[in-house]
Structures are given as C-alpha cells and as structure tokens.
Amino acid sequence: MSTTYTLDTATSRANPTPAPLKRLTVPAIRARKVDGTTAEPLVMLTAYTVRTAQLLDAHCDLLLVGDSLGQVVYGLPSTVPVTLAMMAAHGAAVVRGSWHAVVAIDMPFGSYEASPEKAFESAAWLLKETGAAAVKLEGGEAMAPTVRFLTERGIPVIGHVGLTPQAVNMLGGYGARGRSDAEAAKIEGDARAVAEAGAFAVVVEGVVEPIAIAITRALACPVIGIGASAQCDGQVLVAEDMLGLFERVPRFVKKYDDLGARIGEAAARYAEEVRARSFPTDDQVYAPRD
C-alpha cells in the first residue's frame, strides 16, 4: 500500500520538504528483479533518526532501521541487548522523516526466535508502533517457518543470512563466513529456504564473494549485499560507517566522507570563538525594539 504525505511546513526543521511524495512499496521492490536480473540495483542505508532519514530518503529505495543502533547510537558491545522498545522509538522517527523509501525495521534478538506466534506478536507491534512497511529477521532454514507464518499473515519480511550479528556469541566473532565448503553450502541453503518461505528480499552479509554471486543468481527475489559482491541486486551499509563518523569500520565499508573529522573541526572552531567571546555576534543576538 502506498502512502502520499502532505507535509506541514510550519516546523521547517522537522519537515523541510513541502511537496507530497509517493512512497515506494514492498511489491515495487520485489518487482525490481525480473527473470533473475535487477537492471537497477537497489540502494539501502540504515537510518535511526528523523534528520538522517530526511537526508538519505531521496537517494534510497529502502531505509533500514537496523539493530546496529545498539552500537552506533547506544554504544553497546553488540546488537544482542537491543530491545523492541528501542527499535520502535527509532523506527517511528525514521518513518516520520521519510516519504519515498520503503522503511524496514530489524526485529531484535529474542523477539522472534521462540515461535512463529511470538514473532508475529513482535512484528505486528513494531509495524503498528512505527508505521514501517516490513521487518527484517536473521536466520536461515530454521527461521523459514517463521518467515512463512509472517508473510501469510500480511507482514512483509526481509531475510538475513551469512554473517548474522545477533548470533555473534555462537559464531565467535564477525569474521567472513563461508570459507569451508560445508558452511558455504549451508549459507546457500539458508538463503533459498527464507526466499522460498516468502521473503521479498534477502540480505547476505559478510560472505566470501562466490557465495554471494551464487545466491544472487539462484534466488528469484532481490539479494542485498553487505560485505558480499557488487553483483548482488543491491547494497546496504550502515550510514554512519560510510559517512566516516567512526574511525574503525569493517573492511567492506567504503568511506564516502570524513564527517567525524569535519564535526570535530567545527566543534573546535565553536569552542575557540566561545572562549574568545567572539560568538555570538550582533547577527546572533536580539536587539531591543525601538
């Protein structure tokens, strides 16, 4: 279902775009792959706030409210401690800040694994609270019945296989997956299982490139890579990583800017002017009325 928004420009900081825009839909995303080929690759970035969503929205087909917010926003050691309440708060903000991209929201660890019924309860609550269009969940063949349960009940699902960060304690770290023949075969089987269960797209993360290429060719639905291959049907990155807000990033990240350094430089100039009493100037203070 598409939605057309007419924005209130009275609070221009929150709503800087006055023109109504039509949002993409889940079927439109799924339809980008035709006969095994995606002519125009899908663009996906993470977003956690209204302002980030506003800045990224026009350039993306999908915005992912990732549970990576645990590390990026809250400074947690992994995604495992992230809660449904965290995801709902940030998901609602991203929906409010976007008008074009499909917004998908990660289901956090512990909110869906126990049973398909538990997954439906969590996913339905997230979509009601946020207005997001879809959920993403990690896991392969073991989660296929849950993917089917959700999609048959009207909840669009993005699958996630390969390196699954919520399973970091089982995996023993964030290294690339699929280096052995057995693991490669399992990842490919996992991707097929969630796609056949009804996922409209599958994220493939942190795998050796031949696996990503094989999965992309095998699946009828779009395959979105992260640390995978340029031959995938689309790509996703954590926005803060590719913008250069962190010094340390995974090796598969390309930094398109160095905002961390630029923000630091701006803060230093501000601090210098405050200490020199050269800010504020007449342009930033209010003069008495005559």
Q: Which residues are catalytic?
A: 205
Taking alpha carbons only, the member of 103, 227, 113 closest to residue 166 is 113
C-alpha pair distances (Å), 190 with each of 51, 159, 185: 36, 9, 9
3-state helix, strand, coil in the chain (%, to 5): 40, 15, 45
Q: Say which residues have a Cβ less than 8 Å from residue 165's Cβ, sequence separation at least 6.
A: 67, 68, 78, 79, 138, 174, 205
Residue 68 annotated as lining a ligand binding site: yes
Q: H or E element: which one contains 237?
A: strand 234-237
Q: Is 190 annotated as a binding residue?
A: no
User: CA 146, CA 116: separation in Å to the nearest integer?
Assistant: 5
290 marked ligand binding residue? no
Check: CB of residue 232 under 8 Å from CB of residue 224.
Answer: yes
Is 118 assigned to a binding site? Answer: no
Query: What's the residue count for the chain?
Result: 290
Q: Which residues have CB under 8 Å from 69's CB, separation 6+? A: 46, 48, 82, 86, 87, 90
Q: Which residues contact 285 (CB under 8 A, 6 or more apart)?
A: none
* Separation in Å, CA 80 to CA 66, 113, 118, 166, 178: 12, 13, 18, 6, 23
115 is in an annotated binding site: no
| Mode of pairing for the β-strands spanning 42-46 and 62-65 | parallel
Q: Give the annotated binding-site residues.
A: 67-68, 106, 136, 138
Q: Give the annotated binding-site residues for Mg(2+).
A: 67, 106, 138
